[in-house]
């Protein structure tokens, strides 16, 4: 499968899974919760296999060299630490001097938002003070995001 459709598929699935999870938690006490849980499990299964095919984390670690001038996983540098990035609200590392634009962006970091941000930081967050033009190649971004997802886990 060409890289782009596979990724698009994975992103679509991810959105669907998130929606189902939300519905599942809101309707936990209802009689439909069992079938929703089963559907969620099935989608999660499809999701993780789509995911595994999608990004090469080992290659992504090398691409992270482009970020390492300003970022590290564990420590704040010119840019904020990336530890715990997935599921974190943008602009929320305590004590890091973010731009107002980042703090007010309303983003919660996941693979789809990171893909948008890394395509064009200023496109997604106009007024961000990240001094970085982006990662133009979709395969590079997918690999980088796969690496980040592993490396930033708490
Ligand atoms: C020249 C320095 C620099 C480079 C290179 C750089 N960044 Fe950043 N990054 C920053 C700064 C500064 C911020 C804070 C931006 C703001 O507050 O508007 C930031 C913010 C971010 C955020 C938001 C984090 C949060 O806590 O909300 C992410 C995600 C991010 N960078 C990822 C990357 C990745 C991935 C790369 C490499 C492909 C990269 N950055 C390269 C300086 C940099």
Q: What is the pLDDT of residues 56-71, one digit of tens each?
A: 999 999 999 999 999 9
- Span 18-51, pLDDT tens digits: 766 675 566 656 665 556 556 655 555 555 444 4
Pick the residue whose CA is nearest to atom 18 on ligand 1. Answer: 128
CA of 16 to the centre of ligand 1 (A): 28
CA-nearest of 103, 146, 149 to 125 is: 103
Q: Is the CB of 101 under 6 A from ligand 1?
A: yes
CA-nearest of 7, 37, 27 to 119 is: 7
Claim: this prediction has a pTM higher than 0.85? no
Pick the residue whose CA is nearest to atom 29 on ligand 1. Answer: 114
Pick the residue whose CA is nearest to atom 1 on ligand 1. Answer: 131
């Amino acid at each position: 499968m060409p890289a782009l459709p596979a990724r698009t598929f994975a992103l679509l699935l991810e959105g669907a899974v998130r929606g189902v999870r939300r519905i599942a938690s809101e309707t936990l006490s209802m009689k439909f919760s069992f079938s929703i849980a089963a559907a969620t499990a099935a989608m999660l299964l499809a999701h993780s296999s789509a995911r595994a095919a999608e990004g090469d984390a080992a290659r992504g670690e090398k691409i992270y060299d482009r970020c390492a001038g300003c970022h590290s996983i564990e420590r704040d540098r010119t840019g904020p630490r990336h530890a715990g990035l997935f599921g974190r609200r943008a602009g929320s590392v305590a004590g890091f001097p973010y731009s107002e634009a980042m703090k007010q962006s309303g983003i919660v970091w996941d693979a789809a938002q990171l893909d948008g941000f890394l395509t064009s930081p200023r496109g997604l967050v106009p007024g961000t003070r990240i001094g970085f033009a982006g990662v133009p190649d979709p395969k590079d971004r997918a690999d980088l995001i796969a690496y980040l997802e592993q490396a930033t886990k708490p």
